[in-house]
């Protein structure tokens, strides 16, 4: 763990996340988080901004995730719902009462909407709660399960037959993604899952071949529209089989669209992969040599249960260390042999020179930290705040958490000094399309028992606070 992570300032901010007095960020149309006003003195919890419905759903899902004997069957059940040819009773496309129940509980907790109108309403709610914007992503994707050697196309349409000029799956993906671009207001961002465009695209990604021209056209049109709307595109990282191809696509788009000192396109780098430092170093070098801005979205990685295990760090601690090293290194402009001259200490410089390696200047980088890990997020925010205050070189940074997860962290971040840019990320699509995403969220919660129990405690405290207030009002 980094020194900063253990440092006094980081720990003060860490505590502040759960104890600060209630403030909400007000977001100007120009985009900056402008000022923070107290809402009501008795609203002591960061979760005070949650609606009653969202609080009840969060309590329900957190009760399940914090109870091992409930969580394991819930994960198995959600995974079962993703399988093809389910009996009528468990088919969300045919059993309407069952679909309604799923929608009112888990779907609404984690997903943005089945239609553009529902998604837009969710985005409005996020903005009203003080977030800088919403990142929206269409749920369709293809997951390759290395362990079972199976491809799951989740909500993905069939591809073109042999010799067809236009692939319907790519056409559908393009149409729906362009529809999502229309939903973006100032501050909102688009995330894309490239494998959602179907088998022609995934075959090309897996084989390391160029994408079909129809897909390249679609990506160009989406990028041009987003650039015109000043929205960013975050290209999601996916299963390993496709990820090297996805990174290549991201690099090509960054070369074209990340000009003028800021990033329109971000590639996602999964810190749990042993190969990630090499991928980041390769893209830093390209950004430096070719004069574009690297859009670096950093996650830990969501495909632990389906990807080849040997490619992933052996322990959670190794993944944590890898995440923090990249995040804090980028914020110090001192990462993987790239360094802005004033940020590199004399000792480090000497050490590098002794090793015979040459440090290269730090290229233009825009950073996006997508994480629910409180320590990582607080350490990064504090480092960025400190360096900005001291006039030291750093990079612009945004923070994002998923809808329905780590709300106390998201709201707490909004209250910290330094006006961090905080986003909520929501997945949209029909209930059937979102099942794979929901199953992944559930199994992620199993891996993060301590985080979910902290979240659960914060939610129960907020529910008690509201109940107490209601009783006082009635008494
Ligand atoms: C806004 C947003 C966007 C995201 N986009 C993507 C994306 O494009 N692609 C993607 O893959 N994921 C994405 N994720 C999910 C992300 O990769 C993580 O799965 C999730 O956020 C949990 O990690 P965490 O940083 O929140 O921290 P924690 O909850 O502290 O860490 C959990 C993570 O640690 C890692 N881990 C757990 N156990 C082990 C172990 N034994 N050995 C090694 N590593 C382990 C896994 O990556 C696991 O997900 C996104 C998350 C957010 C918040």
Is the pLDDT assigned to residue 10 strictly greater than 60?
no
What is the structure's pLDDT at 42?
44
CA of 77 to the centre of ligand 1 (A): 22
Residue nearest to atom 40 of ligand 1 (CA): 316
d(CA 82, CA 301): 21
d(CA 446, CA 318): 18
CA of 300 to the centre of ligand 1 (A): 4
- Rounded mean pLDDT, 193-197: 95
Please give the backbone phi and psi of residue 400, each rounded to the nearest 5 degrees, phi first. Answer: -145, 140
What is the structure's pLDDT at 367?
98
- In this structure, are residues 152 and 196 in contact, taking their beta carbons and an 8 Å threshold? no
Structure tokens at 473: 């009002």
What is the structure's pLDDT at 49?
85
Highest mean pLDDT among 64-68, 154-158, 318-322, 418-422: 318-322
CA of 429 to the centre of ligand 1 (A): 22
What is the structure's pLDDT at 75?
86
Q: What proportion of the chain, given as a percentage, has pLDDT over 90? A: 60
**29-43, 62-76, 171-185, 254-268 — which is least confidently predicted?**
29-43
CA of 328 to the centre of ligand 1 (A): 17
Q: In 3D, which of 443, 424, 417, 457 has the Cα closest to residue 122?
A: 424
Structure tokens at 405: 């997860």
Is the pLDDT assigned to residue 445 strictly greater than 80?
no
Instruction: Tell me what the pLDDT averaged over the chain comes to.
Output: 85
Tens of pLDDT, residue by residue over 68-109, are 888 889 888 888 888 777 888 888 888 999 999 999 999 999
Q: In 3D, which of 193, 80, 60 has the Cα closest to residue 435?
A: 80
Is the pLDDT assigned to residue 339 strictly greater than 70?
yes
β-bridge partners, 154 = 141
Strand 233-235 to 189-192 pairing: parallel
CA dihedral 389→391→394→395, nearest 10 degrees, is: 80
d(CA 284, CA 62): 39
Q: Give residue 37's pLDDT band: very low, low, confident or very high (50, 70, 90).
A: very low
Tens of pLDDT, residue by residue over 215-273, are 999 999 999 999 999 999 999 999 999 999 999 999 999 999 999 999 999 999 999 99
Residue nearest to atom 33 of ligand 1 (CA): 300
CA of 73 to the centre of ligand 1 (A): 22
- In this structure, are residues 20 and 408 in contact, taking their beta carbons and an 8 Å threshold? no
Ligand 1 pocket mutation pick from 139, 273, 370, 441 by most atoms within 8 angstroms of CB: 370
What is the structure's pLDDT at 418?
73
Cβ partners under 8 Å of residue 176, min gap 6: 138, 140
What is the structure's pLDDT at 15?
55
CA-423 nearest atom, ligand 1: 1
Sort 99 into a burial class: Cβ within 10 Å, 0-12 / 13-18 / 19+. middle
Q: Model-level pTM? A: 0.87
CA of 299 to the centre of ligand 1 (A): 6
- In this structure, are residues 258 and 294 in contact, taking their beta carbons and an 8 Å threshold? yes
Residue nearest to atom 9 of ligand 1 (CA): 237
What is the structure's pLDDT at 21?
35
Residue nearest to atom 8 of ligand 1 (CA): 236
CA of 302 to the centre of ligand 1 (A): 5
Q: In 3D, which of 174, 170, 145 has the Cα closest to residue 158?
A: 170
What is the structure's pLDDT at 122?
95
d(CA 48, CA 21): 11
Ligand 1 pocket mutation pick from 126, 300, 410, 443 by most atoms within 8 angstroms of CB: 300
What is the structure's pLDDT at 24?
34
Ligand 1 pocket mutation pick from 131, 234, 301, 440 by most atoms within 8 angstroms of CB: 301
What is the structure's pLDDT at 376?
97
Residue nearest to atom 4 of ligand 1 (CA): 370
Is the pLDDT assigned to residue 385 strictly greater than 60?
yes
Ligand 1 neighbours (beta carbon < 6 A): 236-237, 268, 270, 272, 299-304, 312-313, 315-316, 319, 370-373, 400-402, 425, 444, 447-448, 451
CA of 353 to the centre of ligand 1 (A): 35
């Amino acid at each position: 763990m980094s020194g900063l992570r253990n440092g006094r300032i980081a720990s003060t901010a860490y505590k502040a996340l759960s104890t600060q007095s209630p403030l909400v960020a007000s977001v100007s149309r120009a985009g900056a988080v402008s000022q923070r006003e107290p809402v009501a003195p008795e609203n002591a919890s960061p979760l005070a901004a949650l609606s009653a419905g969202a609080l009840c759903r969060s309590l329900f899902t957190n009760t399940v995730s914090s109870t091992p004997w409930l969580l394991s069957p819930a994960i198995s059940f959600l995974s079962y719902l993703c399988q093809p040819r389910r009996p009528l009773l468990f088919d969300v496309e045919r059993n309407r009462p069952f679909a309604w129940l799923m929608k009112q509980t888990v779907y609404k907790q984690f997903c943005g909407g089945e239609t553009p109108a529902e998604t837009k309403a969710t985005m409005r709610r996020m903005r009203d709660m003080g977030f800088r914007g919403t990142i929206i992503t269409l749920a369709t994707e293809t997951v390759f399960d290395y362990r079972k050697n199976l491809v799951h196309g989740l909500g993905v349409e069939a591809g073109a037959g042999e010799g067809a000029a236009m692939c319907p799956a790519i056409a559908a993906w393009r149409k729906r993604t362009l529809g999502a671009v229309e939903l973006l207001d100032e501050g909102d961002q688009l995330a894309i899952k490239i494998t959602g465009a179907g088998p022609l695209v995934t075959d090309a990604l897996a084989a390391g071949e160029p994408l079909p021209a129809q897909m390249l056209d679609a990506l160009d049109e989406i990028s041009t529209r987003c650039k015109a709307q000043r929205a960013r595109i975050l290209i999601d990282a996916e299963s390993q089989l496709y990820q090297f191809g996805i990174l290549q696509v991201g690099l090509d788009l960054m070369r074209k669209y990340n000009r003028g000192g800021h990033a329109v396109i971000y590639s996602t780098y999964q810190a749990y992969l042993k190969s990630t430092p090499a991928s980041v170093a390769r893209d830093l070098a390209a950004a430096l040599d070719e004069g574009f801005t690297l859009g670096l979205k950093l996650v830990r990685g969501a495909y632990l249960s389906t990807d080849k295990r040997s490619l992933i760090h052996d322990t959670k601690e190794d993944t944590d260390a890898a995440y923090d090293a990249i995040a804090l290194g980028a914020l110090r402009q001192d990462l993987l042999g790239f360094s802005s001259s004033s940020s590199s200490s004399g000792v480090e410089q000497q050490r590098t020179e002794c090793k015979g390696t040459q440090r290269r200047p730090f290229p233009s980088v825009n950073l996006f930290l997508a994480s629910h890990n409180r320590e990582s997020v607080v350490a990064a925010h504090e480092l960025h705040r400190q360096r900005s205050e001291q006039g030291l070189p750093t990079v612009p940074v945004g923070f994002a958490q998923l809808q329905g997860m780590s709300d106390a962290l998201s709201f707490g971040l909004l209250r910290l000094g330094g006006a961090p840019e905080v986003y909520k990320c929501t997945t949209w699509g029909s209930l059937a399309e979102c099942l794979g995403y929901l199953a992944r969220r559930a199994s992620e919660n199993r891996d993060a028992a301590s985080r979910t129990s902290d979240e659960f405690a914060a939610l129960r405290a907020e529910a008690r606070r509201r109940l107490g207030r209601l009783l006082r009002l009635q008494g």
